[in-house]
Amino acid sequence: MKALALTLTLALSPFLAAHASPGQQAARTEAPWQEQLSYDIPVRLLQMPVSFPIEYNAEVKRQLTDYLRRGRRETEKMLARTALYFPIFEYYLKKYNLPNELKYIPLLESRLRPDAESSAGAVGLWQFMPATAGNYRLQIDEYVDERMNPYQATEAAVKMLSWLYEELGDWSLALAAYNCGPGRVRAAVRRTGCHNFWDIQHLLPRQTQRYLPALAATIYVANFYGLHGLQPDPQKPLYQPFQVFKVQHSLDLGEISRHCGVSRSSLHRLNPGFLQEYIPYSSRGRYLILPEDALASFQRYVIKESRRTKQNYAVAVLSSHSHLPSASSAKAGDAARAKANI
């Protein structure tokens, strides 16, 4: 453990918006950057209630400088996407009783871009490798890549994080294992006899050594960006209200685009996990995201297809406000009544 590092271990608790609004924060006069790095920022970091120990060190400072100085515009774009994805993350973390601050992992992993792909082949918001995706029943083939689906990928990631914590018994170790795999973390624990990330950090791969510092910086930025004059704009079309359907029948995306008045580019941007102009059948169902104002048109289209094929289309409507999966479902003939589920 570095003697000069500032360390904090606090009990698990959701982050609280106990600071001024972004507009009020941005209006304040910023202190010189080095002064902030030396005093203001570490003080705030020490107040963040997270479930793993934080060290304020040179790597954290480097990551903060990247977010808040060199890459400000990209950081604002990333933060704007939280309006779309955070409610999904929060729902599944609550469902599996995991720490709320784990919702910040995809900011670090993918900058909240569901189609992000690493040079190693990891894909999606949570950056699943193909083998790991298969372990958590995420389908990858020529038609779909469920690593890009925010609902299915998030539930898979939450299950994986839950298992890692059960195996390792410490959130700092579980997070390291999420990055490099549990085998390397267990080997470092056995070699040192220590059960804390910071004590085994030097034995882990270089990328993993930087993982918790980068996550600490990410959490800080997501909570205190307004103090540094960042102003995310959530009013772009991608972040407008949307509606999610659980479809258990094959559908043509081109036909959906035509009937619902949604451009192909918008449809692909909202649903990057569909790799062709086609949603293949799945007994588990597939999530389809559409702009909220396309709800009525989509319902009419589903009814039309049901009558044409004489088959039932099971479509479960997800909340357009909380983005949480609904237990209710509607067959195509009942689609007109699905608004009651919104």
Residues belonging to the active site: 109
Three-state SS at 85 = helix
Question: Is the Cβ–Cβ distance between 245 and 287 less than 8 Å?
Answer: yes
Helix residue spans in 5-149 (DSSP H): 22-27, 33-35, 41-45, 58-65, 72-80, 82-95, 105-110, 130-135
Tokens linked to 247? 């479809």
Give the C-alpha separation, 6 to 55, whole Å: 5
Cα–Cα distance list, 267 to 113, 166, 255, 258, 322 (Å): 15, 38, 11, 11, 21
In the three-class reduction of DSSP (H, G, I as helix; E, B as strand; rest coil), residue 280 is classed as coil
Contact between 74 and 234 under an 8 Å Cβ cutoff? The reply is: no
Handedness of CA 162, 100, 247, 110 (dihedral sign): negative
- Bridge partners of 290? 243
